[in-house]
C-alpha cells in the first residue's frame, strides 16, 4: 500500500494523506491528474477494484469533492482518491470519465450527474434518467437545494393530514410526567 501512496505523491503531486486505519488511506490529487493517477493505481499498483465513486458538497468552501475508492485485493488495501472541483453556483462541475477503466463506473457517474450535477463528458448514458425519472429541478443532493420549499411547491396538502411537532409529540406520548418514575420503574408506556 505504501508503494501506491508514494507513487501518488511523487508522480502525481498528491497531498493531504490521511490514514484512517491499517489498509485504508485517503489522499487528494488535482482534478487534471486524477484519471492518470487512477489508471496508475489500477495498472501498476494493483488497485483493480473500483468499490465506489461518491461526492460531497462543501458549499462553505466552494468545492465539490469526488472520492474514488479503489481496492487492492492482493494487499487487502484501499485508497480513497479525493478530487476537489470548483463548485459552481448552479450545477455544472465537470470531471473526466473513468468508464474506460471500469465499465461499472458509468452508473456511479450517472448517479452523481443526477444527484449533484457533476458531469462526466463521454460517459455512456450520462444524460439518461437514473433514479429521478422526469426530474427537472436542481440536483437534490446539492446543499443549496431547499427540500422543504420544493415539497411545498410541488406537492399539495392532503385533507385530514395533520402535522405534529416531533418534540411535543415525544413529550406527550413517550415520556412520563414525572421523570422520577423512570428510576422507580413505575412508568408503563403501554397505559
pLDDT at res. 54: 97
The C-alpha cell 466552494 sits at 62
Burial of 93 (0-12, 13-18, 19+ CB in 10 A): buried
Nearest CA to 116 among 147, 83, 141, 99? Answer: 141
| Mean per-residue pLDDT over the chain, rounded | 88
pLDDT at res. 188: 52
Of residues 13 and 4, more confidently modeled? 13
Of residues 173 and 20, more confidently modeled? 20
pLDDT at res. 109: 97
- Under a CB-based contact definition with an 8 Å cutoff, are residues 143 and 59 in contact? yes
State the pLDDT confidence band at 4, using cuts at 50, 70 and 90: confident
Dist. CA 142–CA 106, nearest whole Å: 20
Dist. CA 52–CA 112, nearest whole Å: 11
The bridge status of strand 49-58 relative to strand 24-28 is unpaired
CA 163 to chain centroid, in Å, comes to: 31
pTM value is 0.80
Structural domains in the chain, CATH included, are 2-184 (3.30.460.80)
Residue 124, pLDDT > 90, answer yes
Dist. CA 108–CA 92, nearest whole Å: 17
Cell of 63: 468545492
- Under a CB-based contact definition with an 8 Å cutoff, are residues 28 and 14 in contact? yes
The C-alpha cell 461518491 sits at 54
SS3 at position 104: coil
pLDDT in tens, 87-117: 987 778 999 999 999 999 999 999 999 999 9
Q: What is the mean pLDDT of residues 66-82?
A: 97
Region of poorest pLDDT, from 56-70, 77-91, 155-169? 155-169
Amino acid at each position: 500500500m505504501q508503494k501506491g501512496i508514494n507513487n501518488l505523491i511523487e508522480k502525481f503531486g498528491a497531498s493531504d494523506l490521511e490514514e484512517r486505519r491499517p489498509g485504508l488511506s485517503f489522499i487528494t490529487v488535482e482534478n487534471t491528474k486524477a484519471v492518470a493517477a487512477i489508471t496508475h493505481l489500477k495498472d501498476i499498483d494493483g488497485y483493480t477494484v473500483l468499490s465506489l465513486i461518491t461526492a460531497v458538497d462543501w458549499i462553505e468552501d466552494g468545492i465539490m469533492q469526488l472520492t474514488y475508492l479503489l481496492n487492492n485485493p492482493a494487499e487487502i488495501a484501499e485508497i480513497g482518491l479525493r478530487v476537489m472541483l470548483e463548485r459552481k453556483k448552479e450545477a455544472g462541475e465537470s470531471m473526466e470519465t473513468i468508464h474506460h477503466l471500469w465499465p461499472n463506473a458509468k452508473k456511479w457517474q450517472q448517479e452523481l450527474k443526477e444527484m449533484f450535477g457533476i458531469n462526466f463528458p463521454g460517459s455512456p448514458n450520462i444524460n439518461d434518467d437514473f433514479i429521478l425519472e422526469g426530474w427537472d429541478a436542481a440536483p437534490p443532493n446539492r446543499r443549496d437545494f431547499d427540500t422543504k420549499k420544493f415539497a411545498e411547491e410541488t406537492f399539495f396538502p392532503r385533507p385530514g393530514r395533520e402535522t405534529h411537532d416531533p418534540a411535543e409529540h415525544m413529550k406527550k406520548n413517550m415520556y412520563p410526567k414525572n421523570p422520577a418514575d423512570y428510576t422507580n420503574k413505575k412508568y408503563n408506556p403501554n397505559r
